[in-house]
Amino acid sequence: MKIVDTRNVEGWKGRFFEDFEVGDIYKHPLGRTITQTDNTWFTLLTMNTNELHFNVEYGNQAEFGKPLVVSPLTLAIASGQSVTDLTQNAIANLGWDEIKMTHPVYADDTIWSESLVLEKRESSSRPHAGVVTVRTRTLNQHGNEVCSFKRTFMVHKRDSALLSTPRPEPLDPKWQA
């Protein structure tokens, strides 16, 4: 038996500051179908009391003819979809700006996101990091843009000594099949 520690195998480890180039577009790989359960839980978890998001009868009688997905859920999923390509090695998000909800999102819609690199610069306070700004847009299954935003984050450089590696080694090194 051979143990493969993927921390030491060449492969996808996320982007580092040096990997970003202004003008690059990342089409984030994973789509996400939003269910009414997702919408109801997120709405109630965040204490949003607008029944347009969690009361089907109310939503059916409202302007859009059915409940809307609560906007912060759309934003959260869009941000999450970009992690693999943008912020796997981030230190911190520094800001979200110009957030626009451009088309309604409903339960059972599937959304995908893509990001355009707008700016990058060395961090003035952390020599092991850089700052990157992107514009992300999110599309539904019909190709309608449902959300867009600008996001700025601080990300490790490839040789950063401060990258975290918290995975423990087992106390009992024997593997039981």
Domains of the chain: 16-156 (3.10.129.10)
Instruction: For 132-157, write each residue's pLDDT tens digit.
Output: 999 999 999 999 999 999 999 999 99
Q: What is the pLDDT of residue 62?
A: 94
Distance of CA 67 to the CA centre of its chain: 24
Q: Return all residues near 98 (Cβ < 8 A) that are at least 6 apart.
A: 135, 148, 149, 150
Confidence of residue 50 (pLDDT cuts 50, 70, 90): very high
C-beta separation of 81 from 28 below 8 A: yes
Whole-model pTM: value is: 0.86
Question: What's the rounded mean pLDDT across residues 125-132?
Answer: 95
Residue 90, amino acid: A
Higher confidence at residue 3 or residue 81?
81
pLDDT tens per residue across span 92-104:
999 999 999 999 9
